[in-house]
C-alpha cells in the first residue's frame, strides 16, 4: 500500500469524453499490472488537481472502475487497486484489443478490402506502432 504518481495523458481535442480517457488509461495500468494490487490511488481531490479537472470527473472514473471490480474504495480511507484474478485479468486484457481488431477488419471488409490488403494494413500498423 503506497501512494503513486500515475502518468495520464489528456487529449483535449479528442472527441472522447474526458472521463473516458482517464478511465481507459487507468484501466490499462491496472490490468497490465503496472499498478499493483493494494496500491493507494491519489485522493479524488489530489488527482483532480494534477489532472486539472473537476473532482467529480475523477470520482466518476473511480466509481466506474469500482463497478468493474478493478478498484475498491473505503470511505474516509481512500481508493485502492483491487485484487484481480489472473483469468479475469487475461480477459480484460484481450477484450479491448479483440474488439478493436474485429471493428477494424469489419470496416475493411465494408469498403471492399481483400484479405491480402487487410494483411498488408495490419503489418503496416504493426511496424508503425511497435517500433515507436
Partner DNA sequence: GTGGTCTAGACCACC
Partner DNA sequence: GTGGTCTAGACCACG
Name which of residues 18 to 47 contact a second copy (CB under 8 A). Answer: 24-25, 28, 31-32
Cα distance between residue 82 and residue 80, in whole Å: 6
One symbol per residue from 12 to 31: x for binding DNA (CB under 7 A), - otherwise; what is it? -----xxxx-----------
Q: Which region among 11-19, 89-97, 113-121, 124-132 touches DNA (by CB under 7 A)?
A: 11-19
| DSSP-H helix ranges across the chain | 18-31, 44-51, 55-67, 86-110, 115-130
Q: Name the binder of 115 from a second copy, DNA, none, CB < 5-8 A by kind.
A: a second copy
By residue count, the chain amounts to 132
Q: Which residues touch 123 (CB under 8 Å, ≥6 apart)?
A: none
At its nearest, how many Å lie between DNA and the CB of residue 76?
2
Cα distance between residue 41 and residue 3, in whole Å: 6
Chain contacts with a second copy (rule: CB under 8 A): 12-13, 17, 24-25, 28, 31-32, 67, 72, 74-75, 92-94, 96-98, 100-113, 115, 117-119, 121-122, 124-126, 128-130
Amino acid at each position: 500500500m503506497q501512494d503513486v504518481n500515475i502518468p495520464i495523458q489528456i487529449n483535449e481535442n479528442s472527441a472522447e469524453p474526458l472521463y473516458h480517457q482517464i478511465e481507459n488509461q487507468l484501466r490499462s495500468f491496472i490490468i497490465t499490472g503496472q499498478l499493483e494490487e493494494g496500491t493507494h490511488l491519489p485522493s479524488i481531490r489530489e488527482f483532480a488537481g494534477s489532472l486539472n479537472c473537476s473532482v467529480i470527473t475523477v470520482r466518476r472514473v473511480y466509481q466506474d472502475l469500482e463497478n468493474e471490480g478493478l478498484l475498491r474504495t473505503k470511505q474516509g480511507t481512500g481508493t485502492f487497486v483491487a485484487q484481480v484474478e489472473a483469468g479475469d485479468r487475461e480477459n480484460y486484457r484481450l477484450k479491448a484489443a479483440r474488439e478493436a481488431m474485429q471493428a477494424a477488419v469489419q470496416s475493411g471488409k465494408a469498403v471492399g478490402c481483400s484479405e491480402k490488403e487487410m494483411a498488408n494494413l495490419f503489418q503496416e500498423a504493426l511496424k508503425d506502432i511497435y517500433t515507436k
